[in-house]
Amino acid sequence: MIRINKYIAKSGICSRRKADELILNASVSVNGKIVTDLGIQIDEKKDIVKVNGKEIILEEKKVYIMLNKPKGYVTTNNEQFGRKCTTQLIHEDVRVYPIGRLDMYTEGLLLFTNDGEFANSLTHPKNKVEKTYIVKVNHNVDQNKLNILRNGVDIGGYITAPAKAESIGEKEIKIIISEGKNRQVRKMCEAVGLKVLNLKRVKIGNLELGNLPVGKYRYLTDKEINSI
Protein backbone atom coordinates (compact mmCIF):
# COMPACT_ATOMS: atom_id res chain seq x y z
CA MET A 1 0.00 0.00 0.00
CA ILE A 2 1.11 3.54 -0.72
CA ARG A 3 -0.22 7.00 0.08
CA ILE A 4 -2.06 8.41 -2.88
CA ASN A 5 -0.01 11.62 -3.11
CA LYS A 6 3.20 9.60 -3.25
CA TYR A 7 1.71 7.36 -5.96
CA ILE A 8 0.78 10.39 -8.07
CA ALA A 9 4.26 11.86 -7.60
CA LYS A 10 5.88 8.56 -8.61
CA SER A 11 3.84 8.58 -11.80
CA GLY A 12 5.75 11.63 -13.01
CA ILE A 13 2.74 13.96 -13.24
CA CYS A 14 3.78 16.38 -10.52
CA SER A 15 5.42 16.74 -7.12
CA ARG A 16 3.86 15.38 -3.95
CA ARG A 17 2.85 18.87 -2.82
CA LYS A 18 1.07 19.51 -6.12
CA ALA A 19 -0.59 16.10 -5.80
CA ASP A 20 -2.04 17.22 -2.47
CA GLU A 21 -3.56 20.24 -4.20
CA LEU A 22 -5.10 18.04 -6.89
CA ILE A 23 -6.65 15.79 -4.25
CA LEU A 24 -8.07 18.69 -2.25
CA ASN A 25 -9.49 20.17 -5.47
CA ALA A 26 -11.40 16.90 -6.12
CA SER A 27 -9.39 16.20 -9.27
CA VAL A 28 -8.39 12.67 -8.25
CA SER A 29 -10.44 9.49 -8.30
CA VAL A 30 -9.73 5.95 -7.13
CA ASN A 31 -11.67 3.18 -8.80
CA GLY A 32 -14.16 5.70 -10.14
CA LYS A 33 -14.77 7.58 -6.86
CA ILE A 34 -13.49 11.09 -6.18
CA VAL A 35 -11.19 11.23 -3.15
CA THR A 36 -10.29 14.31 -1.09
CA ASP A 37 -8.64 12.60 1.88
CA LEU A 38 -4.88 13.25 1.79
CA GLY A 39 -4.21 10.25 4.00
CA ILE A 40 -5.82 7.63 1.81
CA GLN A 41 -3.66 4.68 0.77
CA ILE A 42 -4.03 2.66 -2.39
CA ASP A 43 -2.84 -0.64 -3.80
CA GLU A 44 -0.58 0.45 -6.65
CA LYS A 45 -0.98 -2.92 -8.36
CA LYS A 46 -4.78 -3.12 -8.26
CA ASP A 47 -6.39 0.30 -7.79
CA ILE A 48 -7.10 2.56 -10.76
CA VAL A 49 -6.15 6.18 -10.09
CA LYS A 50 -7.22 8.97 -12.40
CA VAL A 51 -6.27 12.65 -12.38
CA ASN A 52 -8.74 14.93 -14.16
CA GLY A 53 -10.32 11.82 -15.64
CA LYS A 54 -7.10 10.39 -17.08
CA GLU A 55 -5.62 7.19 -15.68
CA ILE A 56 -2.06 7.52 -14.43
CA ILE A 57 0.57 4.83 -14.71
CA LEU A 58 3.87 4.66 -12.89
CA GLU A 59 6.88 5.53 -15.03
CA GLU A 60 9.59 2.90 -14.77
CA LYS A 61 12.33 4.97 -16.39
CA LYS A 62 13.33 7.96 -14.28
CA VAL A 63 14.68 10.98 -16.13
CA TYR A 64 16.59 13.95 -14.71
CA ILE A 65 17.31 16.84 -17.06
CA MET A 66 18.98 20.24 -16.85
CA LEU A 67 17.86 22.87 -19.38
CA ASN A 68 19.40 26.27 -20.06
CA LYS A 69 16.10 28.09 -20.44
CA PRO A 70 16.00 30.93 -23.00
CA LYS A 71 14.03 34.11 -22.52
CA GLY A 72 10.55 34.14 -24.01
CA TYR A 73 9.47 30.71 -22.76
CA VAL A 74 6.96 30.05 -20.00
CA THR A 75 7.44 27.27 -17.46
CA THR A 76 4.21 25.29 -17.55
CA ASN A 77 2.77 22.03 -18.83
CA ASN A 78 -0.65 23.59 -19.43
CA GLU A 79 -0.15 26.67 -21.59
CA GLN A 80 -3.47 28.12 -22.78
CA PHE A 81 -2.42 31.35 -24.49
CA GLY A 82 -0.24 30.16 -27.34
CA ARG A 83 3.06 31.12 -25.73
CA LYS A 84 6.23 29.07 -26.15
CA CYS A 85 6.71 26.50 -23.37
CA THR A 86 9.93 25.11 -21.95
CA THR A 87 8.55 21.59 -22.39
CA GLN A 88 8.75 22.14 -26.17
CA LEU A 89 12.54 22.17 -25.80
CA ILE A 90 12.62 18.73 -24.14
CA HIS A 91 12.43 15.76 -26.51
CA GLU A 92 12.13 12.55 -24.52
CA ASP A 93 10.10 9.36 -24.81
CA VAL A 94 8.77 9.79 -21.26
CA ARG A 95 6.78 12.71 -19.91
CA VAL A 96 8.70 15.08 -17.67
CA TYR A 97 7.66 18.24 -15.85
CA PRO A 98 9.63 21.26 -14.63
CA ILE A 99 10.81 21.47 -11.04
CA GLY A 100 9.79 24.95 -9.94
CA ARG A 101 9.52 27.85 -12.34
CA LEU A 102 11.39 30.64 -14.07
CA ASP A 103 9.32 33.53 -15.40
CA MET A 104 9.15 34.22 -19.12
CA TYR A 105 11.91 36.82 -19.08
CA THR A 106 14.32 34.92 -16.83
CA GLU A 107 16.87 32.55 -18.32
CA GLY A 108 19.14 29.87 -17.00
CA LEU A 109 19.04 26.63 -15.06
CA LEU A 110 15.73 24.79 -15.03
CA LEU A 111 15.34 21.14 -14.03
CA PHE A 112 12.89 18.57 -15.39
CA THR A 113 12.02 15.12 -14.12
CA ASN A 114 9.34 12.46 -13.84
CA ASP A 115 10.48 11.61 -10.30
CA GLY A 116 8.14 13.31 -7.84
CA GLU A 117 10.28 12.44 -4.82
CA PHE A 118 13.32 14.05 -6.41
CA ALA A 119 11.28 17.16 -7.24
CA ASN A 120 9.94 17.30 -3.69
CA SER A 121 13.45 17.16 -2.23
CA LEU A 122 14.35 20.27 -4.21
CA THR A 123 11.19 22.31 -3.68
CA HIS A 124 10.04 21.54 -0.14
CA PRO A 125 10.62 24.65 2.03
CA LYS A 126 12.08 22.63 4.91
CA ASN A 127 15.07 21.62 2.76
CA LYS A 128 16.04 25.24 2.03
CA VAL A 129 17.80 24.42 -1.22
CA GLU A 130 19.81 27.44 -2.36
CA LYS A 131 19.31 28.96 -5.80
CA THR A 132 21.92 31.30 -7.28
CA TYR A 133 21.10 34.14 -9.68
CA ILE A 134 23.21 36.60 -11.63
CA VAL A 135 21.38 39.92 -11.91
CA LYS A 136 22.21 42.84 -14.18
CA VAL A 137 20.66 46.09 -12.94
CA ASN A 138 20.39 49.69 -14.07
CA HIS A 139 22.61 51.27 -11.37
CA ASN A 140 25.80 50.54 -9.51
CA VAL A 141 25.05 48.71 -6.29
CA ASP A 142 26.29 50.24 -3.06
CA GLN A 143 26.95 48.46 0.22
CA ASN A 144 23.74 49.77 1.79
CA LYS A 145 21.56 48.11 -0.87
CA LEU A 146 23.47 44.85 -0.51
CA ASN A 147 22.98 44.90 3.27
CA ILE A 148 19.24 45.43 2.86
CA LEU A 149 19.02 42.48 0.47
CA ARG A 150 21.02 40.35 2.90
CA ASN A 151 18.76 41.17 5.84
CA GLY A 152 15.43 40.64 4.09
CA VAL A 153 13.12 43.04 2.30
CA ASP A 154 9.39 43.62 1.95
CA ILE A 155 8.32 42.45 -1.52
CA GLY A 156 4.66 43.28 -1.12
CA GLY A 157 3.34 42.02 2.19
CA TYR A 158 6.06 39.39 2.57
CA ILE A 159 9.46 39.84 4.20
CA THR A 160 12.06 37.71 2.47
CA ALA A 161 14.41 35.55 4.47
CA PRO A 162 18.03 36.73 4.73
CA ALA A 163 19.81 36.26 1.41
CA LYS A 164 23.39 36.20 0.23
CA ALA A 165 24.19 39.15 -2.01
CA GLU A 166 27.42 40.48 -3.43
CA SER A 167 28.52 42.81 -6.19
CA ILE A 168 30.43 40.89 -8.88
CA GLY A 169 30.89 43.61 -11.46
CA GLU A 170 29.64 46.95 -12.67
CA LYS A 171 25.86 46.93 -12.21
CA GLU A 172 25.89 43.19 -11.58
CA ILE A 173 24.94 41.23 -8.45
CA LYS A 174 25.01 37.60 -7.38
CA ILE A 175 22.01 36.77 -5.20
CA ILE A 176 21.49 33.45 -3.44
CA ILE A 177 18.10 32.62 -1.92
CA SER A 178 16.51 29.49 -0.47
CA GLU A 179 12.91 30.58 -1.03
CA GLY A 180 10.81 30.44 -4.17
CA LYS A 181 8.26 33.24 -4.12
CA ASN A 182 6.88 34.40 -7.47
CA ARG A 183 9.36 36.76 -9.20
CA GLN A 184 11.18 37.04 -5.87
CA VAL A 185 14.59 38.22 -7.07
CA ARG A 186 13.05 40.88 -9.31
CA LYS A 187 10.88 42.13 -6.45
CA MET A 188 13.83 42.17 -4.05
CA CYS A 189 15.81 44.36 -6.43
CA GLU A 190 12.84 46.66 -7.03
CA ALA A 191 12.46 47.04 -3.26
CA VAL A 192 15.91 48.64 -3.05
CA GLY A 193 15.41 50.86 -6.11
CA LEU A 194 17.07 48.68 -8.74
CA LYS A 195 15.55 47.76 -12.09
CA VAL A 196 16.45 44.29 -13.34
CA LEU A 197 17.79 44.35 -16.90
CA ASN A 198 18.71 40.67 -17.09
CA LEU A 199 18.19 37.76 -14.73
CA LYS A 200 19.81 34.35 -14.99
CA ARG A 201 19.75 31.37 -12.63
CA VAL A 202 23.10 29.60 -12.64
CA LYS A 203 22.92 27.12 -9.76
CA ILE A 204 20.44 25.04 -7.74
CA GLY A 205 21.96 23.37 -4.69
CA ASN A 206 25.13 21.70 -6.00
CA LEU A 207 23.92 21.68 -9.61
CA GLU A 208 25.66 24.25 -11.81
CA LEU A 209 24.59 25.44 -15.25
CA GLY A 210 28.17 25.70 -16.43
CA ASN A 211 28.64 26.13 -20.20
CA LEU A 212 25.41 24.44 -21.29
CA PRO A 213 24.25 26.37 -24.42
CA VAL A 214 21.05 28.40 -24.26
CA GLY A 215 18.03 26.32 -25.30
CA LYS A 216 19.89 23.02 -24.89
CA TYR A 217 19.58 20.36 -22.21
CA ARG A 218 21.53 17.46 -20.79
CA TYR A 219 20.96 14.56 -18.40
CA LEU A 220 22.14 14.89 -14.83
CA THR A 221 24.94 12.56 -13.86
CA ASP A 222 24.46 9.96 -11.14
CA LYS A 223 26.78 11.98 -8.95
CA GLU A 224 24.66 15.10 -9.42
CA ILE A 225 21.42 13.23 -8.69
CA ASN A 226 22.85 11.72 -5.52
CA SER A 227 24.11 15.11 -4.34
CA ILE A 228 20.54 16.37 -3.87
C-alpha 201 chain-centroid distance? 11
Give the CATH class of 2-55.
alpha beta
Classify 65 in phi/psi space as left (phi over 0), alpha (psi -120 to 50) or beta.
beta
Residues catalogued as catalytic: 103
Contacts of 157 by beta carbon, 8 Å cutoff, 6+ apart: none
Alpha helix (H) ranges present in the chain? 4-10, 16-24, 116-123, 143-151, 184-191, 222-226
Which fold does the domain 130-204 belong to in CATH? Alpha-Beta Plaits (3.30.70)
Whether the CB-CB separation of 130 and 163 falls below 8 Å is answered with no
Kindly tell me if the per-residue pLDDT of 127 is higher than 60: yes
Q: Where are the domains of the chain?
A: 2-55, 64-125+207-226, 130-204
pLDDT tens digits, one per residue of 183-221: 999 999 999 999 999 999 999 999 999 999 999 999 999
Confidence of residue 44 (pLDDT cuts 50, 70, 90): confident
Q: List Cα–Cα distances, 40 to 6, 14, 45, 53, 120, in angstroms.
A: 11, 18, 15, 19, 19
Q: Give pLDDT, residue 56.
A: 86
Domain 64-125+207-226 has CATH 3.10.450.50: no
Measure the CA dihedral 88/93/97/101, to 10°.
-40
Q: Give pLDDT, residue 224.
A: 92
Same CATH fold assignment for domains 64-125+207-226 and 130-204: yes
Quote the pTM value: 0.76
pLDDT tens digits, one per residue of 129-157: 999 999 999 999 999 999 999 999 999 98
Q: Report the 10 Å Cβ neighbour count for 191.
A: 17
Q: List Cα–Cα distances, 195 to 145, 149, 189, in angstroms.
A: 13, 14, 7
